Amino acid sequence: MAESWAGLGSAIASFLFLYAMVKDHIPFQLRQYFANFFHKVISFANPYQQITIHEYNGDYMRRDKLYAATQAYLSVACSYRARKLKAELGQESDKPLITFDDYEEVTDTFKGVKVWWYASKRVPNSKTISFYNEEERKYYLLTFHKRHRKLVEGEYLNHILREGRDVMTHRRQRKLFTNSPSRNWYGYKSSAWSHVAFEHPATFDTLAMDPKKKEEIIDDLVTFREGKEYYKKIGKAWKRGYLLYGPPGTGKSSMIAAIANFLEYDVYDLELTAVKTNTELRKIFIETTGKSIIVVEDIDCSLDLTGKRKEKKKEENENEKEKMLPGKDETDDNTKLTLSGLLNFIDGLWSACGGERIIIFTTNHLEKLDPALIRRGRMDMHIEMSYCTFEAFKVLTKNYIGVVEHNMFNTIRTLLCDVNMSPADVAEGLMLKKSRNKDVGACLENLIKVIEAAKEEAAKKKAEEELAAKENEELITDEESSVEKALDLENSNSEK
Ligand SMILES: Nc1ncnc2c1ncn2[C@@H]1O[C@H](COP(=O)(O)OP(=O)(O)OP(=O)(O)O)[C@@H](O)[C@H]1O
Ligand SMILES: [Mg+2]
């Protein structure tokens, strides 16, 4: 076998030598014929195949998505094997991307099959004049044995795309959008949203709440994030609604930031009062992307949607289902933002565009919201953010002063049972001026003072309310007795 390969090798070498000698005396067509023939012989003898992934595809303008994903994938999976590396900062990223440098080769193994990656570039021919500003064209060359072609084409490239996209998601600078339109150079609206970098530091570790409830929320988020196939199977759009309700300062906004940081999603903070019509809401929605959280804070204050709906209910006395049909409120669909427009936004046909979206409403007054707006299926999970419990308090002390046990904890536990304190107030009570904030005892003493003051204040307020209620009751009784007296007088007069 070895002898026959050696024979073939020397035959090709002799052929090449002869060809070089006589090349210039052979007509062009014949030379072309030889070149093709030669290429076929080489391909036949070579058991390896190659796939090229160019940085820019056909139109030269758009960066190829597979190239970007490959670059991200290789930076994590294989770059550590290379000797020559390069670092670059992508447009959407805030962390440098380290990949292997041009003309380097690395290997990768997938399902036991070895493949080779080679990074290279095509330098432009300076003699050609082109409409485009010709730059170096980078590409990756993937080499594999031809018997693995099916695996590479079918599974390996998909694996690269998926993993690469994951890496890109983790690396990209996340954004906080607001629906005040951004304008381009000429002053025209370029997008319904403008954005800044999302940098809120809240995480589930810093969030003070019942650990069991926290765990439940995290589980729900993980199930959602990994549920693409499941949602497809059950025929539901890949989105989930959360309603956060509770008094001010109990961590609703912090929870949104923690969710965004946990899932690594962008946040679209939707200011409903700035949206004038249902059509505008739809346009705004279409401009959001997947892997995002759409937030409407203080939904009860955003619009008088509840009132409008209730008034209509009385006037028209229509049944609930009919009212929710898209187009039912069509008379004012294009001129107003209505509840049906908002319901459509949450779970109408449009809500499925893009996928992988979380919608979060927050409110201080759950009772003010229309049941249709927050029914399960629209707002899948209702999360109560409550006043500070002892468990939540321990999370705060851990984060703020670094302790989870102290002999003053029992006093604080009893006090917290007696008075409603928001985690924001407790956190404030734990913070002392810089010179004393390392003194754990002083911080806890200060907190005890703050809670006691709040307890006194609450007791005073309760007493005042009780007094006012009593006075009101007496006033009503007085009024009732004087009305009764007047009626008696009237009756006796009429009898006479
Ligand atoms: N559960 C909590 N865990 C940790 N910190 C909290 C919590 N609740 C409040 N805080 C602290 O209080 C501040 C205010 O909290 P946040 O803005 O999240 O409250 P909110 O419920 O959104 O209030 P509002 O209803 O007024 O919007 C936060 O910056 C955070 O420092
Ligand atoms: Mg808030």
How is residue 336 written in tokens?
A: 């107003």
Residue bearing the CA closest to ligand 1, atom 30: 424
pTM over cut 0.80: no
Count Cβ atoms below 10 Å from residue 483 Cβ, excluding itself.
10
Q: How far apart are CA 398 and CA 206, in angstroms?
A: 9
Residues 58 and 36 grouped into a single domain: no
Query: Would you say the CB of residue 252 lies under 6 angstroms from ligand 1?
Result: yes
Residues 225 and 341 grouped into a single domain:
yes
Contact status, residue 202 vs residue 208, Cβ threshold 8 Å: no
Same domain, 113 and 31: no
* Of the residues 384, 407, 437, the one at which a domain ends: 384
Which range, of 85-89, 326-330, 491-495, averages the lowest pLDDT? Answer: 326-330
Q: Which ligand is nearest to the CA of 400?
A: 1
Q: In what order do the strands lie in the sheet with 292-296?
A: 194-197, 175-178, 266-269, 292-296, 357-363, 239-245, 381-384
The answer for residues whose C-beta is within 8 angstroms of residue 400's C-beta and 6 or more apart is 427, 430, 431, 443
Between CA 467 and CA 116 the distance in angstroms is 84
| Same-domain pairing of 19 and 2 | yes
CB of 104 closer than 8 Å to CB of 82: yes
Query: Is the pLDDT reported for residue 325 higher than 60?
Result: no
Mean pLDDT of 224-244: 91
Residues 201 and 346 in one domain: yes
Alpha carbons within 13 angstroms on the beta-carbon side of residue 260 total 27
Does the beta carbon of 389 sit less than 6 angstroms from any atom of ligand 1? no
Count of domains observed in the chain: 4
Atom of ligand 1 nearest to the CA of 255: 18
Residue 108 to residue 114: CA distance in whole angstroms = 6
> Given pLDDT bands bounded at 50, 70 and 90, which one contains residue 93?
low
Please report which ligand is nearest the Cα atom of 397: 1
Reading the block at residue 354, the tokens are 């893009």
265 and 201 within one domain: yes
Task: Tell me how far CA of residue 84 lies from CA of 74, 103, 127, 496, in angstroms.
Answer: 14, 9, 31, 116
Note whether 374 and 444 are same-domain residues.
Answer: no
Is the domain of 220 the same as that of 288?
yes
CA atoms within 13 A on the CB side of 105: 6
Cβ atoms < 10 Å from Cβ of 97: 19
Cα(66)–Cα(45) distance, integer angstroms: 30
Its domain, for residue 137, covers: 47-126+133-173
Cα–Cα nearest to 48, from 151, 149, 146? 146
- Our answer on whether the CB atom of 217 is closer than 6 Å to any ligand 1 atom is no
Identify the band that residue 32 occupies on the pLDDT scale cut at 50, 70 and 90: confident
CB 386 near ligand 1, within 6 Å: no
Residues 312 and 453 reside in one and the same domain: no
Beta carbon of 385 within 6 Å of any ligand 1 atom: yes
Q: What angle is formed at CA 238 by the lines to CA 237 and CA 241, rounded to 5 degrees?
A: 95
Same domain, 162 and 75: yes
251 Cα–ligand 1 center, Å: 3
How high is the pLDDT of residue 5?
62
- Asked whether the ipTM of the predicted complex exceeds the cut of 0.90, the reply is yes
Q: Over 70: is that where the pLDDT of 118 sits?
A: yes
The finding on whether 430 has its CB within 6 A of some atom of ligand 1 is: no
Q: Whose CA is nearest to atom 16 of ligand 1?
A: 251
Q: Does residue 223 surpass a pLDDT of 70?
A: yes
Residue with the smallest CA separation from ligand 1 atom 18 is 251
Binding site membership of 365 for ligand 1 (Cβ less than 6 Å): no
3-state secondary structure of 69: helix
